[in-house]
Amino acid sequence: MTTQASDRSSVLRDIHVLDGGMASELEQLGAQIDGPLWSAQVLEDTPEKIVAVHRAYIEAGAECILTASYQVTRMGYAEVGLASERADAALLRSVELARATAADYPQRRIVVAASLGPYGAALHNGAEYHGNYGCSFDELVYFHRQRIEVLAGASNAQAPDLLAFETLPSIEEARAIVEAIAPFDNLAAWFTFTCRDGETVAHGERIADCAAAVAQLPQTVAIGVNCTAPALIPALITELRKASNKPVVVYPNSGEGWDGANRCWTGSGDASGFGARAAQWIAAGAQIVGGCCRTRPAHIREVAAAVSRSA
Ligand SMILES: [Zn+2]
């Protein structure tokens, strides 16, 4: 890891603008992400499309970029008959692509965060949005420790600045990650939860309790919310700020909703509206703002403008 314990707390200093959605942007570039490996397939087949997405977000103003590794897990690879070594190599490759792209902008400090989806994301059945996995706590610890070990052992070119544990549905999974990462002193991590209302994560626990469960971990550099409706974000920021003094990171969805019956997105995901909301989230105390599903570089340009207006 490039992050040492001594500079862990400063890895996010002066960082305010996160990137936006990876999968939808890859689709815009014509990448096939509906196979069994989802966007992980692009890492293997057309990595230049991932570089193009990173570049688009950096040029939109992102100061932190998430790697294309959300669903890269040994468990997911094993399901389609692929060896664990191949999953590990894809995880490291995703960081290497992000690092190399960031290095093309030497005048800017770009933080590379390794995107690590929850156990449910590896199941490919939407289980991360309710968190009822039917597996034991120890299995969750084991699942997360596999990727943590790989990243902790990475060479500089493949080492992220921090590990982004995203779309977490439950306090149990947060506690499992705390247990998995605790032995790795030199790592930095953030924890972001997917929420169903202004104070509750998807599985039903209070976000304040989830934040408290991860705040004491020395590796924790930020706590927040992702993959959640933007309208819920102000209330969630209030809860997060009551629960800990860690920096708050929020990257909600565009504002469109998925209509399962008609298999389409509904509502407005308009970028300028997203920028106006970002200004409110910053005013409410969020340090880092970006976007999740259905957000695009236009949304991040609006976030960057809102950040500079608030400075
Ligand atoms: Zn999302």
Average pLDDT, the chain: 93
The tens digit of pLDDT for each residue in 133-176 reads: 989 999 999 999 999 999 999 999 999 999 999 999 999 999 99
Give the distance (Å) from ligand 1 centre to CA of residue 127.
Answer: 13
Give the distance (Å) from ligand 1 centre to CA of residue 106.
Answer: 30
Give the distance (Å) from ligand 1 centre to CA of residue 291.
Answer: 8
Give the distance (Å) from ligand 1 centre to CA of residue 5.
Answer: 30
The tens digit of pLDDT for each residue in 175-230 reads: 999 999 999 999 999 999 999 999 999 999 999 999 999 999 999 999 999 999 99
Judged against a pLDDT cut of 80, whether residue 295 lies above it is answered with yes
pLDDT at residue 98 in the model: 98
In this prediction, residue 5 has a pLDDT band, given cuts at 50, 70 and 90, of very low
pLDDT at residue 46 in the model: 93
pLDDT at residue 21 in the model: 96
Q: Classify the C-alpha dihedral 206-295-114-134 as positive or negative.
A: positive
Give the distance (Å) from ligand 1 centre to CA of residue 243.
Answer: 24
Which residues, 6+ apart, have CB-to-CB distance to 292 below 8 Å?
Answer: 20, 21, 167, 226, 227, 228, 251, 252, 253
Give, as residue ranges, everything with CB less than 5 Å from ion ligand 1: 227, 292-293
Give the distance (Å) from ligand 1 centre to CA of residue 250.
Answer: 11
Give the distance (Å) from ligand 1 centre to CA of residue 13.
Answer: 25
* Residue in 65, 110, 61 with CA at minimum distance from that of residue 303: 61
The tens digit of pLDDT for each residue in 94-106 reads: 999 999 999 999 9
pLDDT at residue 78 in the model: 92
Judged against a pLDDT cut of 70, whether residue 3 lies above it is answered with no
Least confident among 53-57, 61-65, 121-125, 186-190: 121-125
Give the distance (Å) from ligand 1 centre to CA of residue 88.
Answer: 23
Residue 152, CA atoms < 13 Å, CB-side half-sphere: 18
